Structure 1
Amino acid sequence: MRVKTEAKRDAILAAASQVFRDSGFEGASMGEIASRVGGSKATLYGYFGSKEELFVAAMHEEASKEFEPVFATLNNKVDNLRETLQACGEKVLAFLCSPDRIQTRRAIIAESGRSDIGKRFYELGPKVGFQNIADFLDRQMAQGNLRRSDPLLAAIQLSALLECETVMPLTLGVEEKFSRPQIRQAVERAVKTFLAAYCVEAPTVGGHEGA
C-alpha cells in the first residue's frame, strides 16, 4: 500500500491547476494530469476521489495563497476602517477579476447543475471567506465602529457590492477586463455604500442636529 505524502499532493495540485487553466474543466483529463505528475490515474484517485474534487482542491489552493495574507491583515489593529476595507477590496478583486478566475467561475457555474462541484467550491472557498470577513466586521461592531447587526450577512452584502460592478459583468462577457484604476474606483463605491449602511452615525452637538 502506497503512503500518501504532502509533497505528492502538492505536486498533483500544481499539475492540476496548470491543466485546468490550459484546458478548462471539461477539456482536462485525469490522464493528462497524471502524466504531468509522473504517475498513474490510480495515484490521483488515491488522493482525490473525482475530477470535481481535484478541481475544487486545486482552485482552493490557488485562492488560499492569495487570500490568506489579505485575511491576516484583518486580524491586525485597524486605525482606519475605510482604508482597510479599500485595500483588502482591491486585492480581492484584482484576483477575482483575473482571466483565470473568471474562467474558473464560469466552469463551476456550468458544472453546478450536473454535480456537487458548486457546493464543494462554496464550502471550501466563499463560505470560508465570508466567515473571515464576518469575524472582522464583528470585532468592528464590538468596538463601536459599525452598528450592531448580523456580521455574516454584512460580509455577504459587502462581497456582493464588490462583485456586482466587476466580477458579474466579466463572468457574463459584458466586459473583457478592468484596469487597476477601474477596480480601485469600483471598490471605493462599494465601500462607500457599505459604510453608509453600517457605519455608526456621529452624535450631533448637544444631542440636536444643528445645535
Structure 2
Amino acid sequence: MRVKTAERRDAILAAAAEVFLEEGFEGASMAGISARIGGSKGTLYSYFKSKEELFVAVTHEQAKKQMEPALAALEKDTGDLQKTLQVFGEKAVSFLCQESTLQTHRMIVAESGRSDIGRRFHESGPKLGMERIAAFLSRQMQAGRLKQADPMLATLQLCALLDCETVKPMMLGLESAISRPRMKRMVGRAVETFLAAYAVD
C-alpha cells in the first residue's frame, strides 16, 4: 500500500486546479484528474473521497495562499484603523477579482443548487476568514475605536461594501478589469462608508 505524502497531495491539488478551470466542476472527472497526474483513481480516492471534497480542497488551498496576506494585515494593526482596513480591503479585493477566483466562485454557485458544496466551501473556508475579521473588529470595539455592535454583523456589512463595486460587477461580467488606482478608490469608498456607520466620533 502506497504511503500518503504531502508532496503527492500537493501534486493532486495542482493538477485538479487545472482540470477544474479548464472543464468546470461538472465537466471534470476523477478519472480525468487521475490521468493528469499519471496515477490511478484508487490513489486519488485514497486522498479525497469525492470530487466535491477535492474541489473544496483546491479552492481552499488557493484562497489560503492569496487571502492570508490580507488577513495578516489586520493583525499588524498600527493604530490607524482606516489605513489598516484600506490595506486589508485592497489585498482581499485584488484576490477576489482575479479571473481564476471568479471562475471558482461561479462554479460553486452553479453547483450549490445540486449539492451541499456551497455549505462545505463556506464552513471550511470563508467562514474562518470572516471569524478572523470579526475578531479584529471586536478588538477595535474594545479599544473604543468602533461603536459596540455585533462583530460578525459588522464583518458581513464590511464585506458587502467591499464587494458591491468590485467583485459583484466582475462576477456578472459587467466589468472585465479594474485598474489598481480605481480599485483603490473603490475600496476607499467602502472603508469610508463602513467607518461612517461604525467609527466612534
- TM-score by length of structure 1 reads 0.91
Q: Give the CA deviation at 1:61.
A: 0.2
Larger Rg: 1
Query: 1:157-200 CA distances to partner (integer Å, 9 max, x unpaired)?
Result: 10011001111111122222212122111101100000001000
Distance 1:196 1:113 in 2: 37
| Structure 1 unmatched ranges of 5 or more | 202-211
Q: Give the CA deviation at 1:117.
A: 0.8
Superposition pairs for residues 1-211 of structure 1, below 5 Å?
A: 1-201=1-201
Letter paired with 1:91: K
Q: Give the CA deviation at 1:33.
A: 1.4
Letter paired with 2:104: T
Contact 2:21 2:100 in 1 (8 A): yes
Q: Structure 1's 77 and 88: CA in aligned 2 closer, same or farther, altered over 3 A? A: closer
Segments of 4+ in structure 1 off by > 3 A? none
Distance 1:180 1:41 in 2: 43
Q: CA RMSD in A?
A: 1.2
